[in-house]
Chain A
């Protein structure tokens, strides 16, 4: 891609990404929040593609669609806030979280600006690329698998806790008439 195409994709997609990400926290509809988050992450995938990071961009587009749609499902199931009647808020502990977000964002921006990023592109068979491949598929694989299983068990456990009694409902305790 030429520099002009990159710029034409990068800046509008970047701005739109920030706007959609902001609206995730403004809306009180779970379906809207999930779909806006999907839009923000898909736009981030576009940013990767525009910066010629093809595999990351494609993976972002693929994984985020699936994950965010599942999240919409779960959020609508467990956090119904019809028309803002329950006074639910997407943001907790506002002052401290805003402070943390600003500090972390500034730190990351400083790191991004001050780091001396390497300019050359490595060929696919460079020793560094091979080393990363062996690291990811070898020693680090155990921690990835562990993290994946932990997330899965958390999801299943969360549903089981939230929906105790299983699909046929909770049996009334002894002595209680329903």
Chain B
């Protein structure tokens, strides 16, 4: 970690958020206008922030910052190119779920602090769903690390360069991982906490001005982080023929992000009861089974 790392991460977040916003308009079938959209977003900053008259409004004002910190920390764990790594720790693959785990309190604080009934319901929904996404993310991170024998994301990428991508070696892990990270990134069809048509914005209902902009930024950084980590852990990251390392990673991340956004546009939002049933009866046992399967695969093919 060099002294420039924080600057690089912030720059990546700023550029990446605009790129994700352009992807969103593209997936929606519109022509992206990054300059106009940025200008509009900056104009929105001049709007005053709202002050809900609740006793826990300090939680309301703390939540956007916590959400952004969690998203930026997750972004910093992603191995973007062989030399470029934000926070490089031996336990990076576990630190990524740890960073994402702080999205849950942030959404709850936003809902609870906002105080309106729909916002509180949104926050509670996100907690109720938590085991459904937190368990698969942490378990799958361990499952893809098992053949590598290291929790360092860069080591997981490099093993896929010499063998096969994890998407082929552990398709069950990928099947658990993608819905889970989409749920934590508050993407439809799993966006029950912020359901726009149903809860009218849910946990983020009351935010305006700077705080709304922070949340919009954090959500895009979050999508960038989970798409990048998916590309790194499952699609062999920067490995590929002809193109330079960083370009491969950018292409794969963009492809994953596009597919996630497209899936959200094509599928109706899942009803909370049905989603909880899926989370508890499929995702959680599936995550435990994935660990066992990954252990078997490791012993059979990698050791």
A29's contact among B56, B91, B98, B109, by CB below 8 Å, is which?
Answer: B56
B105 touches A58 (CB 8 A): no
Q: How far is the CA of A54 from the CA of B55 in the complex (A)?
A: 37
- Cross-chain pair count, CB within 8 angstroms: 60
Question: Is A55 an interface residue, CB under 8 A from the partner?
Answer: yes
Question: Is A35 an interface residue, CB under 8 A from the partner?
Answer: yes
Q: How far is the CA of A59 from the CA of B97 in the complex (A)?
A: 10
The residue in B98, B127, B130 that gathers the most chain A C-beta atoms within 10 A of its C-beta is: B98
B105 touches A69 (CB 8 A): yes
Question: Is B198 an interface residue, CB under 8 A from the partner?
Answer: no
Chain B residue contacts of A62, Cβ below 8 A: 94-95, 97-98, 101, 138
Interface residues on B, range: 20 to 34
B91 touches A61 (CB 8 A): no
Chain A residue contacts of B104, Cβ below 8 A: 65-66, 69
Q: Which of A66-88 contact B (CB under 8 A)?
A: 66, 68-70, 72-73
A72 touches B56 (CB 8 A): no
Interface string of B129-154 (1 = CB under 8 A from A): 01100100010000000000000000
- The prevalent SS among residues of A at the interface is helix
Can you name the residue of chain A whose Cβ is closest to the Cβ of B102?
A: A65
The 6 closest A-B pairs by CB, nearest first: A62-B98, A65-B101, A61-B98, A73-B127, A58-B91, A58-B95
B residues neighboring A (CB under 8 Å): 55-56, 59, 89-91, 94-95, 97-98, 101-102, 104-105, 108-109, 112, 124, 127-128, 130-131, 134, 138
**Residue contacts A-B, CB under 8 angstroms, 28 given:** A29-B55, A32-B56, A35-B108, A38-B105, A42-B102, A54-B89, A55-B91, A58-B94, A58-B95, A59-B94, A59-B98, A61-B95, A62-B94, A62-B95, A62-B97, A62-B98, A65-B98, A65-B102, A65-B104, A65-B105, A66-B130, A66-B131, A66-B134, A69-B105, A69-B127, A72-B105, A72-B108, A72-B127
